[in-house]
Chain A
Amino acid sequence: MPVHQNQADQDKAVAHKDDLARAHAAGSIATLTGRPLQANTGIPLDLNWVKDVRANTSAVERRAQTQVARRTVKKEWQAAWLLRAITCIDLTTLSGDDTDERVRRLCAKARQPIQQELVRQLKIEELDVKVAAVCVYHLFVETAVRALEGSGIPVAAVSTGFPAGLSPLAERVAEIRRSVEAGAQEIDVVITRAHVFGGAWQALYDEISVFKQACGPAHIKVILASGDLLTLRNVARASVVAMMAGADFIKTSTGKEPTNATLPVGLVMVRAIREYAQQTGMAVGFKAAGGIRTAKQSLDWLAMMKEELGLPWMQAPLFRLGASGLLGDIERQLEHHATGRYSADYRHPIA
């Protein structure tokens, strides 16, 4: 019986690839249910849209809960999904005790996230699995850029007075510019939460627009700090405003808030991304960050992306997992897949 199901899935996958081909031909970066989408250039602030945003907390929580129970991947599929998760990781170190040497170690791990032996056992040499980016404070951008030279892995810098975002605007903007000059290709910015609480959507829009401008060619990931915003409606509205202001990615959390990336928060954000894509024809990426430590969690996030947005949002250009410890757990799971034995953390090189 599963044979038929797989055949159906394969057919769909082939159809999807065709879509992708068409999309690339048209200069777009993704498709959503067959429709090609462009990179986000932003739109004027539409306050009616912001006000019309709804998010019923109980219903969102229920969907997030049941989705985890409704979807699972096993065996080779699970291995494939875990490898995919690795390629979507923004390998991150954002601690007060970060040093150049620590960042260099992280970059080495980013280049080679899985042991060679395991790569051979899984027969995935051709995939050349690497993480999506390395994410550091501004101070370590240059170190990271040098350490990653030739790998194709971009450096992301957290910016704009991360994590609170309460330094003067001019300084926050200057910070972005400095990071871009130092070689960061992606900038993770934090918003002024007070704008959300005060319903100052124009102020929020203007702030993000200025950040976007300062980023120049670098991708801007807008951190909503959902753990501070607390209500799902706040998260949903902030998502919409960030996208209107030109965000390339919207990101859940700084990792420094009381609660980090949760599936309900993620669900509200990806639904906003879908709505925005349908309304504007532009694709915005999603980054879940903070508290994602287990291989199982990464599968749940990938399944949510597949269900709500589809294959393009299961790939690094539009999906990231901001994490530091996650990679180790994924490696252990992959080794279990390869050997049939449960692994131990000390058997895998640390960052």
Chain B
Amino acid sequence: MSIAEKFLTMEYGPAPEDPKEANSWLERHNRRFDHFINGTWQAPAAGAYFETLDPSNGEKLASVAQGTAADIDAAVHAARAAYPKWRALTPHIRARYLYALARLVQKHSRLLAVLETMDNGKPIRESRDIDIPLVARHFYYHAGWAQLLDQEFPDYESCGVVGQIIPWNFPLLMAAWKIAPALATGNTVVLKPAEFTSLTALALAELCQEAGLPAGVANIVTGDGSTGEALVKHPDVDKIAFTGSTEVGRAIRSANAASDKRLSLELGGKSPFIIFEDADLDSAVEGLVDGIWFNQGQVCCAGSRLLMQESIAEPLIGKIRERMSTLRIGPPLDKAIDIGAIVARAQLDRIQRMVGQGIAEGATCWQPHVTLPARGFYYPPTLLSNVHPTSIVAQQEIFGPVLAAMTFRTPQEAVELANNTVYGLAACVWSENINVSLHVAAQLKAGVVWVNCTNLFDASCGFGGYRESGYGREGGREGLLEYLTPAWFKKAPKLSATSEVKSPLLADAARSGAPQVSHDSEDLGENSGPPAIDRTVKLYIGGKQARPDSGYSMDVRSPDGHLLGEVSLGNRKDIRNAVEAARKASTWTKATAHNRAQVLYYCAENLSQRRDEIVHTLSRAVGERQAATELDLGIQRIFSYAAWADKFDGAVHNPPFRNIAIAMNEPIGTVGIICPTEAPLLGFLSLVMPALAVGNSVIAVPSETYPLITSDLYQLFDTSDMPGGAINIVTGYVSQLLKTLAEHDDVNAIWCFTDAASASAAKAMSVGNLKQVWTNEGRAIDWFDPKVAEGRWFLQHATQVKNIWVPYGE
């Protein structure tokens, strides 16, 4: 075709990026890659390799080593050996290594971009303009944290050896998200890239060599799911960081239930994309393009559920279709292609199957007239309208360029529909009205909310989900904490079988002359004077004393076997009722921080007033000295969290865009707390108070040692204006109540601070809704030491960070 003809048609024509350099890089490696272990390339122990393909044409790119348990073991061993030296380096030296990696990524940016596109199928303009620059940014940002670590996190330590498993949708970016914060905080890593896309991680291994990173600090073992499983189950790994499907995340949680490995999970999503009638509709449509047609829709935070206000649904659908018609789908190495290839045949099949199912369930399918390349794995941009919330395409993650559209009538309904999902990764809100957009953003259950923008990422902003989208954050200060452990906790001894308290501070407290118990009231023990008036300790549910469903009570005995009293024997139905009550406690969860503080102060006031009486009864279980100390420190603890209630602020991050990115600390929701045995009152307050202070509602199970404390506590709450349902107390056999709480799908977090076995049980039984689990890992916590037993560490676990991005400009 001549220039003259092209002058008439004005088509774009091909604009291919040259893959020559990437191909010669592959040739230099003879198109065969071993594992990167201990700073060198090591052949797989079993000698097996698998092929990695270019999804744009189905051709083989290279052979990659299939990792086995033996390879994982070698890598973990190398990481363990490298750990002491690496963590002992000064933060500044670690910062230099990360800085060098950032520089190297930039120096080799085009090779990495082309390689990524060849291996994954994403358009070169995305790998070139989005993925690789973010990789460099991530290393730069964390080089900064490495430098500042000692000043900013003085009481924290690295976890140790971290096993990291990443997905195929952003291969190098996910590697950077994992490796940079881990190394910055002094951990060593074993990374397993996704089977479909190992190449850029291996190129990164080369950059680690070039940067002179000490051997064993970063190891890369390639392979399939079985390789990942071996890493997850390796006993010498201290933490697992996983990004991938919710299904696999659940399996990892289960597999690790019996260990004390830290775990962070970044899982799936079905993110809502809400468009209000007062939005800039043309821009919102472009937002959708960046949302669901970014990376072929293979994005965990893709805005895959379109929620349109009814009044604009029709014109909006028209605009979306028009825009879909100008999307260019084709060979991803072409610089003017919007939609490249789906990563693999299996994924393409899944997309086709799910769309078919959606249509069968009544959805209307629309696709623009596009000619797909004859070879390779391609799927056209797809709009499914008339989708109902019940449809599979509205519920399940498709992970393809498929948008499911629904309508809503009011902002309230938009929120309800948006939150009608087991996921909670991201959400978009489009409205020109700041009141509407921020009000809706605040109510969305999602770790990231983009207002009038989509899929913006930056190393400085935490990314991660609510609900079954996982736990933990990546990026920002909040992401760093995933790779740090309080130094004292790392050293904390295993909790002994007895509930005897060995706190040096307890002795100190007693010596320092804490007010002693006065004995002016008559002792009403069994053997003296007239029989005491029987005091029935009931359950405390929804702000009312409640008889147990079972109709039974259980005996409570002192350490030497005397009967101290009886408490209600709560069962699963009582837990059910308590969770329902907690759910309804909006007077508390929506109260202002100031008001919550007022109520907590009032609790402290009333506890102080009833001090002697409670010390007297508590002392029968733990002795007078401990009882007095528990009470006095308990008052202080309540004061601490009353003080914190309006001070546990979020942050405003500084991503390189013109916007404000607000990191809000939000309560997790309904928290189930299994209280420690060794300090019946102080332990209870140390966990329940931080949870309440930030606006959670709580179901607490007091220790079996002395559940009689319940009656004192509910009288305390009743007289302190604590709204009903904010705190619910269920006594009974802890193991049974733990099971019901951990399995309950309407409980958002389970905290278990008894023994190691209970901690494991809590983890194993929480996988149903992947609730956040926090335990003492069976370690002893000195509840009498405010340095360890109160403060930010507790508040961090009581909250989850929501990042709200609000670009501005006129």
- Where the two chains meet, the residues of A that have a C-beta atom closer than 8 Å to any C-beta of B are 1-2, 4-13, 33, 54-63, 66, 69-81, 83-84, 122-124, 126-127, 231-233, 271, 302, 306-307, 311, 314
Asked whether, in the complex, the Cβ of A233 is within 8 Å of the Cβ of B810, the reply is yes
Q: How many positions in chain B have a CB within 8 Å of any CB in the partner chain?
A: 54
- Which residues on B sit within 8 Å (CB–CB) of A57? 809-810
- Pick from A33, A77, A79, A311 the residue with the most CB of B within 10 Å: A77
Instruction: For B281, list chain A residues within 8 Å (CB).
Output: 54
- Cα A59 to Cα B290 in complex, Å, equals 11
Please judge, given known A-B contacts A5-B14, A6-B11, A8-B371, whether A58 and B4 are in contact too, CB under 8 Å.
no
The minimal Cβ–Cβ distance linking B241 to chain A, given in whole angstroms, is: 31
Q: Does B6 contact A (CB under 8 A)?
A: yes
- For A56, give the chain B residue with the smallest CB separation: B280
Given contacts A54-B279, A73-B15, could you give 14 more A-B pairs where the C-beta distance is less than 8 Å? A1-B331, A2-B330, A5-B330, A8-B370, A9-B13, A33-B322, A54-B280, A60-B280, A63-B286, A76-B6, A79-B3, A83-B7, A127-B7, A271-B282
Q: A56-B280, A77-B6, A79-B3 are in contact. Are A72 and B11 (CB under 8 A)?
A: no
Q: Tell me if A80 and B432 are in contact (CB < 8 A).
A: no
Q: Contacts of B11 on A, CB cut-off 8 Å?
A: 6, 9-10, 12-13, 77
Scan residues 1-46 of chain B and give those whose CB is less than 8 A from a CB of chain A: 1-4, 6-7, 9-16
Q: Find chain A residues with CB under 8 A from B331 CB.
A: 1-2, 5
B322-350: CB near A (< 8 Å → 1, else 0) gives: 10011010110011101000000000000
**B214 interface residue (CB < 8 Å to A):** no
List the B side residues contacting A80 at CB < 8 Å: 3-4, 6-7, 10
Which A residues are in CB contact (< 8 Å) with B56?
1
A33→B4 contact, CB < 8 A: no
Judge if B278 is at the interface, Cβ distance under 8 Å.
yes
From B3, B284, B290, B658, give the contact of A76 (CB < 8 A): B3
Q: Does A314 lie within 8 Å of B10, measured CB to CB?
A: yes
Residue of B nearest to A4 (CB): B373
Query: A56: which of B125, B283, B375 is its contact (CB, 8 Å)?
Result: B283
Using known A-B contacts A33-B322, A80-B10, determine if residue A1 contacts B330 with beta carbons closer than 8 Å: yes
Q: A54-B281, A59-B286, A60-B283 are in contact. Are A84 and B10 (CB under 8 A)?
A: yes
Can you name the residue of chain B whose Cβ is closest to the Cβ of A306?
B10
Name the residue among A58, A79, A83 with the largest chain B CB count within 10 angstroms: A58
Q: How far is the CA of A78 from the CA of B335 in the complex (A)?
A: 14
A71 to B334, CA, bound (A): 10
Complex CA gap A84/B13 in Å reads 15
A206 to B476, CA, bound (A): 55
The residue that A2 contacts in the complex, of B9, B16, B280, with Cβ under 8 A, is: B16
**Inter-chain contact B14/A123, CB cutoff 8 Å:** no
A59 touching B14 by the CB < 8 A rule?
no
Given A7-B371, A123-B2, A124-B7, the answer on whether A77 and B12 have CB atoms closer than 8 Å is: yes
Distance of A124 Cα from B6 Cα, bound (Å): 11
A-side contacts of B129, CB under 8 Å:
66, 69
When distances are taken between beta carbons in the complex, the residues of chain A under 8 Å from B57 are 1
27 residue pairs bridging A and B, Cβ less than 8 Å apart: A1-B331, A2-B16, A4-B371, A5-B14, A5-B334, A8-B371, A56-B432, A58-B809, A59-B280, A59-B287, A59-B807, A69-B129, A70-B125, A71-B336, A72-B12, A75-B13, A77-B6, A80-B3, A81-B6, A84-B10, A122-B3, A123-B2, A124-B7, A271-B282, A302-B10, A306-B10, A311-B9
Q: Which of B13, B282, B286, B809 contacts A77 (CB 8 A)?
A: B13
Interface centre among A61, A62, A302 (most CB of B within 10 A): A62
Question: Is A74 a contact of B810 with CB atoms below 8 Å?
Answer: no
Residues of A within 8 A of B374 (CB): 4
A62 in contact with B373 given A57-B810, A76-B6 (CB within 8 Å):
no
Q: Does B444 contact A (CB under 8 A)?
A: no
- B279 contacts which chain A residues (CB < 8 A)? 54, 56
**Could you say which of B13, B334, B375, B452 contacts A59, with CB atoms under 8 Å apart?**
B452
Please tell me if the beta carbons of A62 and B286 are within 8 angstroms of each other in the complex: yes
Instruction: Determine whether the beta carbon of A76 is less than 8 Å from that of B283.
Output: no
- Is residue B453 within 8 Å, beta carbon to beta carbon, of the partner chain? yes
| Given the contacts A70-B338, A126-B4, A54 and B326 also touching, CB distance less than 8 Å | no
CA distance in complex: A12, B453 (Å): 31
C-beta contact mask, B269-291 vs A, less than 8 Å → 1, else 0? Answer: 00000000011111110110010
Instruction: State which of A9, A58, A71, A77 has its C-beta within 8 Å of the C-beta of B659.
Output: A58
Name the residue in B331, B336, B374 with the highest tally of chain A Cβ atoms < 10 Å from its Cβ. Answer: B336
Q: Which chain A residues lie closer than 8 Å to B4 at the CB level?
A: 80, 123-124, 126-127
**CA separation between A1 and B452, bound complex, in Å?**
37
Are A73 and B16 neighbours in the complex by a CB distance under 8 Å? no
Bound form: Cα–Cα A260–B659 in Å: 25
Q: Is the CB of B15 within 8 A of A72?
A: yes
Q: Please, which residues of chain A bring their CB within 8 A of the CB of B15?
A: 72-74
What A residues does B7 contact at CB under 8 A? 80, 83-84, 124, 127
- Which residues from chain A contact B287 at a C-beta distance below 8 Å? 59
- Chain A residues with CB below 8 A from B12, complex form: 9, 71-73, 77
Which residue of A7, A76, A233 has the most chain B CB atoms within 10 A of its CB atom? A76
Q: Would you give the shortest CB distance from A327 to chain B, in whole angstroms? A: 17
Contact of B809 among A9, A61, A70, A83 (CB under 8 A): A61
Q: How far is the CA of A142 from the CA of B659 in the complex (A)?
A: 52
| Contact A83 B3, CB 8 Å, known A1-B331, A2-B14, A4-B374 | yes
How many angstroms between the C-alpha atoms of A173 and B164 in the bound complex?
73
Bound Cα distance A106, B31 (Å) = 60
Q: State whether A13 touches B9 (Cβ < 8 A).
A: yes
- For A305, give the chain B residue with the smallest CB separation: B10
Q: Please list the 7 inter-chain residue pairs (A to B) with the smallest Cβ-Cβ separation, ordered nearest first.
A: A77-B13, A58-B807, A80-B6, A59-B283, A8-B371, A2-B14, A57-B809
| Nearest chain B residue, comparing its CB with the CB of A302 | B10
**Residue of B7, B9, B16, B279 most packed against chain A (CB within 10 A):** B7
A58 and B6 within 8 A (CB): no
A31 to B11, CA, bound (A): 17
Whole-angstrom CA separation of A221 from B380 in the bound complex? 40
CB distance from A125 to the nearest CB of B (A): 9
B658 to chain A: closest residue by CB: A58
Question: Within the complex, what minimum Cβ distance (angstroms) separates A307 from chain B?
Answer: 6
Contact A55 B375 (CB under 8 A): no
Give chain B residues whose Cβ lies under 8 Å from the Cβ of A79: 3, 6
Complex CA gap A232/B331 in Å reads: 36
- B330 to chain A: closest residue by CB: A5
Contacts A1-B375, A54-B279; is A231 near B286 (CB within 8 Å)? no
CA distance A78 to B129 in the complex (A): 22
Residues of B within 8 A of A61 (CB): 809
- Distance in angstroms between the alpha carbons of A126 and B4 in the assembled complex: 8
Given contacts A1-B375, A54-B432, contact A74 B453 (CB under 8 A): no
**Minimum distance in angstroms from A323 CB to a CB of chain B:** 19
Please measure, in the bound complex, the distance between the C-alpha atom of A58 and the C-alpha atom of B372, giving whole angstroms: 33
Interface string of B359-390 (1 = CB under 8 A from A): 00000000000111111100000000000000
What CA separation (Å) do A76 and B8 show in the bound complex? 12
CB neighbours (8 Å) of A12 from chain B are 11
A6 to B1, CA, bound (A): 11
Instruction: Digitize B298-337: 1 where CB-to-A-CB distance is under 8 Å, 0 elsewhere.
Output: 0000000000000000000000001001101011001110
Task: For the complex, give the distance between the alpha carbons of A264 and B15 in Å.
Answer: 25
- Chain A nearest CB: distance from B298 CB in Å? 18
Measured in the bound complex, the distance between the Cα atoms of B807 and A75 in whole Å is: 38
In the complex, what distance in Å separates the CA atom of A13 from the CA atom of B371? 14
The smallest C-beta distance from B434 to any residue of chain A, in angstroms, reads 12
